[in-house]
Amino acid sequence: MSEPTVFTRILNGEIPGDIVAETDRVFAITDINPQARVHVLVIPKTQEYRDVAELAAGDPTLLAELVEVAKSVAADTAGGEFRLIFNTGAGAGQTVFHVHAHVLAGDLEEKSLID
Ligand code: AMP
């Protein structure tokens, strides 16, 4: 059994986190270092998938649930339009190897697509 990730520890209440949405298999937290007015991470409760490629191969239904929660968060906070980012691999900026979607919404017009 691998060590709990920072996201698992937030889910378990071991460290503080701002949980803004939750379903049976997915939860969402406010990013501690926001890059947009709305910056929420949508995360499977299981940490068995390290990145979105593993998740897509292993449980595509769970990936679809992540997208549903992302849509719902954006609908509640930013009129329903959003950018969804999965950093995949350390070289692409991934730092937490427990798959998570970055939902960026609100005030995005000045931001580059790939910054
Ligand atoms: P990534 O670099 O794609 O793996 O994204 C990891 C994200 O987790 C970063 O945007 C961090 O700001 C965020 N993060 C790390 N620790 C915490 C925490 N304790 N609470 C909320 N967000 C966090």
Q: What is the CATH number of the domain that holds 46?
A: 3.30.428.10
Kindly state whether residue 1 falls inside one of the protein's structural domains: no
Q: Give the SS3 label for residue 17.
A: coil
The yes-or-no answer on residue 39 being catalytic is no
Determine the structural domain holding residue 92 and report its residue range: 6-114
Instruction: Assess if residue 21 is contained within a domain.
Output: yes
| Residue 92 covered by a domain | yes
The pLDDT tens digits for 48-84 are 999 999 999 999 999 999 999 999 999 999 999 999 9
Distance CA 24, CA 44 (A): 9
Of 11-15, 81-85, 95-99, 103-107, the least confident: 103-107
CA of residue 54 to ligand 1 center, whole Å: 19
Instruction: Give the number of domains in the chain.
Output: 1
By most ligand atoms within 8 Å of CB, the mutation choice from 31, 87, 102 for ligand 1 is 31
**pLDDT on residue 108:** 80
Q: Which is it for the CA torsion 107, 108, 109, 112, positive or negative?
A: positive
Report if residue 88 sits inside a domain.
Answer: yes
Res. 104: pLDDT tops 80: yes
The closest of 114, 53, 49 to 85, measured between CA atoms, is: 114
- Whether the pTM exceeds 0.85: the reply is yes
Q: Determine the distance separating the centroid of ligand 1 and the alpha carbon of 96, expressed in angstroms.
A: 7
Interval between CA 20 and ligand 1 midpoint (Å): 15
